[in-house]
């Protein structure tokens, strides 16, 4: 049954990628629930490369399925999600930043760790993604949604105690990835923590390596950067001792925990 669902979804992906990309999607987040602040221009690379996965409203309807995001990660979604949340902390006092929306239940699970007197802000450059997240959050009042570019957050320096980037970096061109990491480091207080989960070069004998190479080259053209270089390459100046890295599932995925250096 799962294989049949996956095949059906792949057919829908092919249909989405075979038609012309739409123009800019108008903001569709409406009044009520968490407020959406400001307005950001959607980068060209998202329109050109990822409109079928994130920008087009039909993409949201297709990919916002828990079983599907788990299938895309070869059954590892819950494991990767929980490891990221545990790295952030069981009880998230103060202020937390999530950079970019995530399909599935990542943000509701994250919000559940935020006390009533604390705050969680989620930024995304796509209004359609923020609207989708707001539907998932329901009446949740601890979460603020902001229409911002990850590479230009527009928030004060040292505004947050921690930040998380969950499968975001592989979707960015190198210059955007570098600026996004710099912005995350700027936004988190010295002594705070940044948690990153993303793809990684799998072991040479990994049975899925040839297939994943084809999938990433075909659908995620910037992702191969993370097979070629360590994430620290895009964070010059961060001491190696400030980064704790571990890989899972035969090296295909990585988690980084970065302790932001004191000034």
Closest CA to 100 of 15, 23, 43, 22: 43
So what's the pLDDT on residue 117?
94
Q: CA 28, CA 93: separation in Å to the nearest integer?
A: 31
The residue behind tokens 């990835």 is 177
Q: Indicate which CATH number applies to the domain containing 220.
A: 3.40.50.150
CB burial string 145-162: b at 16+ within 10 A, e below: bbbbbbbebebeeeebbb
Output DSSP code: residue 55.
Answer: I
Q: CA 176, CA 184: separation in Å to the nearest integer?
A: 12
> How many domains does the chain contain in total?
1
pLDDT, tens digit, 9 for 90 and up, residues 174-230: 999 999 999 999 999 999 999 999 999 999 999 999 999 999 999 999 999 999 999
**Does residue 12 carry a pLDDT above 90?**
no
Please give the order of strands across the beta sheet that includes 119-124.
Answer: 36-37, 143-147, 119-124, 95-99, 160-166, 188-199, 253-259, 243-248
So what's the pLDDT on residue 262?
87
Instruction: Quickly state the pLDDT bin for 33 (edges 50, 70, 90).
Output: low
So what's the pLDDT on residue 15?
44
pLDDT, tens digit, 9 for 90 and up, residues 226-246: 999 999 999 998 998 999 999
pLDDT, tens digit, 9 for 90 and up, residues 44-67: 999 999 999 999 999 999 999 999
By the 8 A CB rule, do 107 and 135 touch?
no
Output DSSP code: residue 233.
Answer: G
So what's the pLDDT on residue 36?
60
**Does residue 115 carry a pLDDT above 80?**
yes
For the chain, give the mean pLDDT.
88
What domain range includes position 23? Answer: 2-259
Helices and strands (H and E) in the chain: how many: 10, 8
The residue behind tokens 């948690």 is 195
What are the structure tokens assigned to 187, written together?
């936004």
Q: CA 199, CA 170: separation in Å to the nearest integer?
A: 7
Q: CA 223, CA 75: separation in Å to the nearest integer?
A: 19
Which residues 6+ apart lie within 8 Å of 102 measured at CB? Answer: 166, 167
pLDDT, tens digit, 9 for 90 and up, residues 140-168: 888 999 999 999 999 999 999 999 999 99
Do the strands 119-124 and 253-259 form a parallel or antiparallel pair, or are they unpaired?
Answer: unpaired
In this prediction, residues 20-33 reach a mean pLDDT of 38
Three-state DSSP at 22 gives coil
pLDDT, tens digit, 9 for 90 and up, residues 65-80: 999 999 999 999 999 9
So what's the pLDDT on residue 142?
86
């Amino acid at each position: 049954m799962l294989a049949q669902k996956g095949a059906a979804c792949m057919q829908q992906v092919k249909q989405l990628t075979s038609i012309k990309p739409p123009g800019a999607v108008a903001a569709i987040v409406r009044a009520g629930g968490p407020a959406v602040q400001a307005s950001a221009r959607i980068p060209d690379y998202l329109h050109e490369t990822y409109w079928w996965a994130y920008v087009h409203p039909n993409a949201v309807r297709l990919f916002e399925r828990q079983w599907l995001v788990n299938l895309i990660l070869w059954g590892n979604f819950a494991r990767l999600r929980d490891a990221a949340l545990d790295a952030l902390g069981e009880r998230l006092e103060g202020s937390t930043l999530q950079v970019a929306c995530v399909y599935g239940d990542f943000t509701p699970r994250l919000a559940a760790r935020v006390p009533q007197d604390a705050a969680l802000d989620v930024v995304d450059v796509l209004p359609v993604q923020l609207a989708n997240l707001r539907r998932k959050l329901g009446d949740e009042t601890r979460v603020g949604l902001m229409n911002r570019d990850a590479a230009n957050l527009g928030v004060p320096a040292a505004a947050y105690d921690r930040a998380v980037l969950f499968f975001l970096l592989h979707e960015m061109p190198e210059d955007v990835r570098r600026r996004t990491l710099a912005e995350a480091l700027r936004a988190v207080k010295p002594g705070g923590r940044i948690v990153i989960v993303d793809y990684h070069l799998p072991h040479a004998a990994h049975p899925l390596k040839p297939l994943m190479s084809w999938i990433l080259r075909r659908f995620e053209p910037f992702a191969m950067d993370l097979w070629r270089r360590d994430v620290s390459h895009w964070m010059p100046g961060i001491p190696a001792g400030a980064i704790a890295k571990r890989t899972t599932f035969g090296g295909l995925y990585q988690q980084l925990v970065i302790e932001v250096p004191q000034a």
